[in-house]
Amino acid sequence: MKRVAVIGGGVGGMTAAGELAQRGHQVTLFERSASLGGKAQAVTASGVQLDTGPTLLTLPHVVREGFRRLNAEDLLPRFIELPVHCEYRWLDGARFEAHRDLELTAASAERLKAGEGEAVRAFYAAAADIHRVAGEPYLEAPFYGALEYLMRVARRGLGALWKGSQLPTLDALGTAHFSSRHLREFVGRFATYAGASPYQASAAFALIPHLERAFGVHHVVGGMGALSVALGQAVERLGVKLQLGATASWREQRGELLVGPEGDAQRFDAVVVNADPLASLGRADEPLALSGYVLLLEAERSALPHHTITFAADYPAELNALFAGGAPDDVTFYVCHPAASDASMAPAGKSGLFVMVNAAPLSAAVDWAEAAPRLREKCLAHVRELGARDVKVLGERTPLDLARAGAPRGSIYGFLPHGRLGPFRRPRIRSRVPGLFYSGGGTHPGGGVPLVMLSGHFAAHLASQHLEARA
Alpha-carbon distance of 471 to 464, in angstroms, equals 10
CA distances to 21, 140, 436, 438 from 143, rounded to whole Å, are: 23, 9, 15, 12
Identify residue 207 by its one-letter amino acid code.
L
Torsion, Cα 252 254 256 257, to 10 degrees, reads -10
- Give residue 390's domain range: 290-410
Alpha-carbon distance of 244 to 229, in angstroms, equals 14
User: 224-237 and 60-69 are packed helices; what angle lies between their axes, rounded to 10 degrees?
Assistant: 20
pTM for this predicted structure = 0.95
Asked if 150 and 188 sit in the same domain, the reply is: yes
- pLDDT for res 411: 97
Asked if 111 and 212 sit in the same domain, the reply is: yes
Per-residue pLDDT in tens (0 to 9) along the chain, 471 residues: 799 999 999 999 999 999 999 999 999 999 999 999 999 999 999 999 999 999 999 999 999 999 999 999 999 999 999 999 999 999 999 999 999 999 999 999 999 999 999 999 999 999 999 999 888 999 999 988 878 887 888 888 877 767 777 789 999 999 999 999 999 999 999 999 999 999 999 999 999 999 999 999 999 999 999 999 999 999 999 999 999 999 999 999 988 999 999 889 999 999 999 999 999 999 999 999 999 999 999 999 999 999 999 999 999 999 999 999 999 999 999 999 999 999 999 999 999 999 999 999 999 899 999 999 999 999 999 999 999 999 999 999 999 999 999 999 999 999 999 998 787 889 999 999 999 999 999 999 999 999 999 999 999 999 999 999 987
- pLDDT for res 313: 97
Alpha-carbon distance of 466 to 471, in angstroms, equals 9
Asked if 303 and 396 sit in the same domain, the reply is: yes
Contact at 8 Å (CB) between 204 and 187?
A: no
Which of 216, 231, 246 delimits the end of a domain?
216
Asked if 336 and 400 sit in the same domain, the reply is: yes
Asked if 206 and 294 sit in the same domain, the reply is: no
Asked if 274 and 304 sit in the same domain, the reply is: no
Cβ neighbours, 10 Å, residue 380? 17
User: Is 82 a domain residue?
Assistant: no
**In CATH, what number is assigned to the domain containing residue 280?**
3.50.50.60
User: Is 390 a domain residue?
Assistant: yes
- pLDDT for res 150: 79
User: 224-237 and 11-22 are packed helices; what angle lies between their axes, rounded to 10 degrees?
Assistant: 30
* Count of structural domains, the chain: 3
Q: Output helix, strand, coil percentages for the chain, rounded to the nearest 5.
A: 40, 20, 35
User: Is 78 a domain residue?
Assistant: no
Phi, psi torsion values for 143, nearest 5 degrees: -90, 115
CA distances to 281, 434, 462 from 468, rounded to whole Å, are: 26, 13, 10
Residues 6 or more apart whose CB falls under 8 angstroms from that of 245 comprise: 31, 32, 33, 34
- pLDDT for res 146: 79
User: Is 72 a domain residue?
Assistant: no
Asked if 261 and 294 sit in the same domain, the reply is: no
CA distances to 44, 173, 331, 356, 377 from 366, rounded to whole Å, are: 30, 32, 15, 17, 17
Identify residue 83 by its one-letter amino acid code.
P
User: Is 51 a domain residue?
Assistant: no
- pLDDT for res 148: 85
Asked if 226 and 331 sit in the same domain, the reply is: no
* Paired strand residues for 266: 259
Asked if 303 and 269 sit in the same domain, the reply is: no
User: Is 135 a domain residue?
Assistant: yes
Asked if 344 and 448 sit in the same domain, the reply is: no
CA distances to 19, 294, 368, 408 from 364, rounded to whole Å, are: 42, 20, 10, 15
- pLDDT for res 160: 72
3-state secondary structure at position 385: helix
Asked if 375 and 325 sit in the same domain, the reply is: yes
Which of 379, 410, 441 delimits the end of a domain?
410
- Report the candidate in 402, 308, 295 with the shortest Cα–Cα distance to residue 355: 295
Which H or E run includes 130? helix 116-130
User: Is 44 a domain residue?
Assistant: no
- pLDDT for res 422: 83
- pLDDT for res 385: 97
- pLDDT for res 221: 97
User: Is 111 a domain residue?
Assistant: yes
Asked if 327 and 373 sit in the same domain, the reply is: yes
